[in-house]
Amino acid sequence: MLQKTDKEVYDLIQKEEERQRDGLEMIPSENYTSAEVRECLGSILTNKYSEGYPKKRYYGGNEFIDEIEILAQNRAKKLFDVPHANVQPYSGSPANFAVYVAVCEPGDSVMGLNLPDGGHLTHGWKASATAKFFDSHPYHVKPDGHVDIDEAWKIAKEYKPKLIWAGATAYMYQYEFEKFAEIADSVGAYFATDIAHVAGLVAAGSHPSPVPYAHIVTTTTHKTLRGPRGGMIMVTEKGLAKDPDLGKKIDAAIFPGIQGGPHNHQTAAIAVALEQAMTPAFKEYGQQIVTNAKALAEALKKEGLTLVGNGTENHLILINLVPLMGPGGGALAEHALGLINITMNKNTIPAEPASPFFPSGLRLGTPTLTTRGMKEDDMGKVAHWIAAALHEIKDYHMPEEKEARPKYVKEFKEKIEGNANLMKLRQEVIAFAHDFPVEPTL
């Protein structure tokens, strides 16, 4: 139908489908949903307005929507073993901001991992509303990429934060929830864990759960959990012990605090993804993600590349490009890999020598490759293509002068467009990608 009524949009969707099929998506915060999840997203549920919560709506006609949301709540509670779950957040950032609204007053001190050190915008980064409305005191990582727990203790003792975050977007180690719980308990802070990146790994048992340690757990639903783009906030038994009304406060923070009507098609898709995450096949999937990531990390090192932390404990790898290309090579590397149909993102590294806009690292991961059915042996091939592309451009070095960098990147792209060696790698990647369908097999 869309092909006939709006061919322009239809053609763009087809091009994106072809791009995904012909390449390797390696951004660790991305994944492929199942057909069942997409069926919910394209359903008539999107037609209904449902402000409020099940059995307490502001509009009529929500009897079936209520059942869908209750189902999603119950599945979240069962999967993560929590007593309270809110499945209405539009995405991870609103979910995190709702936590501030629920437990803090404007101006309260908060702590989270510094963004260039691998943290998230909503954990108190200076450009985020979470730092504009709250007094943010970020902690950092050490040169090996591990969180500096000693520094976190020092900051907590000095500023007595109301809220402490654990979680990250570029962290290759397992989160040390118990250490942060000890810090938070010592100063009476709420301890919130953002497991957006590792929620699927937690569900599969291939990453420790924060539930015994945290008061609040937030997550997106579209990364390793392999659902739609959405978010959830869960309150633990420990959280209710600290504040029996914490679940009610979280719900009020979402609605009417910062959101209006929930996206019902999204809620149904979350329910489906949660049910799929409870299967034995998903458990194997979550374990394979980590197995693949470790295999990929070892293969990249054998190819001569330098990794932050010298490897990974989860789904994510961070390449330090400084030994190969000097500071600031992330944007160049990202583009070169894009030319051979491998997608990953430029990223800062610990003690970043350049800038967040022209960083010195590459962030990559294995969730989507694993979804497509790739195994450890395949990671060696992927590592070879990544290294070959990077070595092809190793003689390009980002200028030290900030003003010269945009022009240099533009000229770099023009110079390597059509590079014969990169085009050869591209054809090899396409042929390889076609052996693995873009579809979860649950």
- The catalytic site residues sit at 49, 51, 194, 220, 223, 229
Quick one: which of 363, 384, 352 has its CA closest to 316?
363
| Residue 287, amino acid | Q
Which pairing describes strands 316-320 and 306-307: parallel, antiparallel, or unpaired? antiparallel
- Per the CB < 8 A criterion, the answer to whether 80 and 234 are in contact is yes
Which pairing describes strands 306-307 and 345-347: parallel, antiparallel, or unpaired? unpaired
The per-residue DSSP string of 183-226 comes to: HHHHHT-EEEEE-TTTHHHHHHTSS--STTT-SEEEEESSSTT-
DSSP letter at 91 equals S
CA 136 to chain centroid: 22
From the number of C-beta atoms within 10 Å of its C-beta (0-12, 13-18, 19+), residue 88 rates as: buried
- Per the CB < 8 A criterion, the answer to whether 31 and 371 are in contact is yes
DSSP letter at 395 equals T
Separation between Cα atoms, residue 6 and residue 128, nearest integer Å = 37
Residue 293, both tokens = 């990531």
Separation between Cα atoms, residue 89 and residue 385, nearest integer Å = 38
> In the chain, what is the straight-line distance between the N-terminal and C-terminal CA atoms, in Å?
28
Separation between Cα atoms, residue 219 and residue 383, nearest integer Å = 30
Q: CA separation (Å) from 73 to 8, 173, 258, 274?
A: 38, 29, 20, 10
Q: What is the largest CA-CA distance in the chain?
A: 65
Separation between Cα atoms, residue 123 and residue 222, nearest integer Å = 19
Cα atoms in the 13 Å half-sphere on the side-chain side of 429? 29
Strand order in the sheet with 345-347: 306-307, 316-320, 361-365, 345-347
Cross-strand bridge partners of residue 364: 317
Cα atoms in the 13 Å half-sphere on the side-chain side of 13? 7
- Per the CB < 8 A criterion, the answer to whether 148 and 139 are in contact is yes
Q: Which residue is associated with the tokens 């790698």? A: 425
